[in-house]
Amino acid sequence: MAIRKAVVSIKGSTTYDGAGVKLQRILGHAEASRFDPFLLLDAFGSNNPADYLPGFPMHPHRGIETVTYLIEGSVRHKDSTGAGGVIGPGALQWMSAGSGIVHEEMPQESPRGVHGLQLWVNLAAREKMQPPAYRGAIAAEVPVVPTGSGTVRVLSGSWGGAKGPIVGVARSPVYLDIELKPDSSIQLDVPKGRTAFFYVMSGEVTTAAAQDLGGGSKSHDYGTCVLLGDGDEAQLIAGAEGARFIIVHAPPLGEPIAWGGPIVMNTREELNLAFKELDEGTFIKANG
């Protein structure tokens, strides 16, 4: 077995998005080629309502899937497919924008604040103009697999004999939320050829690879995103206070990326057409 080592370590930067939501942008344009098919990762989390209540009013997407995982708080959402509702702690919403969707996500005031992650997954050229779709799961639908070292929440894909509630999405990603006890470890099968990364939500995580980041093992603390090199296994070790992190992996696309704000296509011409259709009111197709 070839153990995957850490090859890139990234700390996010503070930015504001939507109508003024404060967040940490972990992955973005600069990382898109190395993290293919993953385009963007935002971590949002605050107990101050001023940081999150502005929300994300109605805005468009095309050519991607957006994945919102809520850790704490509640978010009201609705979109042009007719989907809508309020999601709570531990819930997941997986939206395939396809040919075009307009949606909003509005955090609700909560005594524990609002905390979560949003991941963008690129769609293949052949999928970018398919009808949009929405899939959601509440916390009770997410399998929690106990291990000797902690727990694994299976959001999508399969692990430990459990299958995540989100199925039928592009790239067949495995998305796990893992909590480890202090100084414990976990071994994960990650097939060769898939792009894999983990993001630390609390504590510290070390990989077991001998040449981590080119010079021995290194611990990765809160707010760090780590791209793993190729191999067929990841071995991750929690620090003295334990750790919580997500790990996500999927096969890369290897296709050109033309990215403009909330829309990601393959060519500049396709991107220009999308914005032209927005201006002309023809962005939403009859099938969406």
pLDDT tens for 188-207 read 999 999 999 999 999 999 99
Count: domains in the chain: 1
Using pLDDT thresholds of 50, 70 and 90, give the confidence band for residue 41.
very high
The answer on pLDDT for 93 being more than 80 is yes
Starting at the edge strand that comes first in sequence, how are the strands of the sheet with 114-122 ordered? 13-17, 21-27, 38-46, 114-122, 64-72, 92-96, 133-137
Using pLDDT thresholds of 50, 70 and 90, give the confidence band for residue 42.
very high
**pLDDT number for residue 68:** 96
Neighbouring residues of 122: CB distance < 8 A, sequence distance ≥ 6: 32, 36, 37, 38, 39, 63, 64, 171, 253, 255, 257, 264
Mean pLDDT over residues 114-129, rounded?
Answer: 97
The answer on pLDDT for 117 being more than 80 is yes
Using pLDDT thresholds of 50, 70 and 90, give the confidence band for residue 136.
very high
Does some domain include residue 156? Answer: yes
> How high is the mean pLDDT of the chain?
94
**DSSP reduced 3-state for 281:** coil
Using pLDDT thresholds of 50, 70 and 90, give the confidence band for residue 226.
very high
**pLDDT number for residue 215:** 54
**pLDDT number for residue 208:** 82
Interval 175-191: pLDDT, tens: 999 999 999 999 999 99
Does some domain include residue 66? Answer: yes
**pLDDT number for residue 1:** 76
**Residue, of 221 and 216, whose pLDDT is higher:** 221
Q: Which two tokens stand for residue 38?
A: 């993953």
Mean pLDDT over residues 105-126, rounded?
Answer: 96
Q: State residue 268 phi and psi, 5-degree precision.
A: -65, -35
**pLDDT number for residue 210:** 55
CB 250 within 8 A of CB 38: yes
CB 242 within 8 A of CB 11: no
Does some domain include residue 91? Answer: yes
In angstroms, the CA 288 to CA 50 distance is 34
**pLDDT number for residue 224:** 97
Does some domain include residue 119? Answer: yes
Does some domain include residue 180? Answer: yes
CB 152 within 8 A of CB 66: no
Whether pTM exceeds 0.75: yes
**pLDDT number for residue 286:** 72
Domain of residue 170: give its range.
Answer: 6-280
The answer on pLDDT for 214 being more than 70 is no
Mean pLDDT over residues 19-28, rounded?
Answer: 96
Neighbouring residues of 220: CB distance < 8 A, sequence distance ≥ 6: 6, 9, 198, 200, 204, 205, 206, 226
Mean pLDDT over residues 48-66, rounded?
Answer: 96
Does some domain include residue 11? Answer: yes
**DSSP reduced 3-state for 140:** helix
Tell me, what CATH number does 186's domain have? 2.60.120.10
Percent of the chain with pLDDT over 70: 96
Does some domain include residue 194? Answer: yes
Q: State residue 19 phi and psi, 5-degree precision.
A: -95, 15
Which residues does residue 224 pair with via DSSP β-bridges, in sequence order? Answer: 11
In angstroms, the CA 21 to CA 131 distance is 29
Does some domain include residue 285? Answer: no
Lowest pLDDT segment from 65-79, 117-131, 150-164, 273-287: 273-287
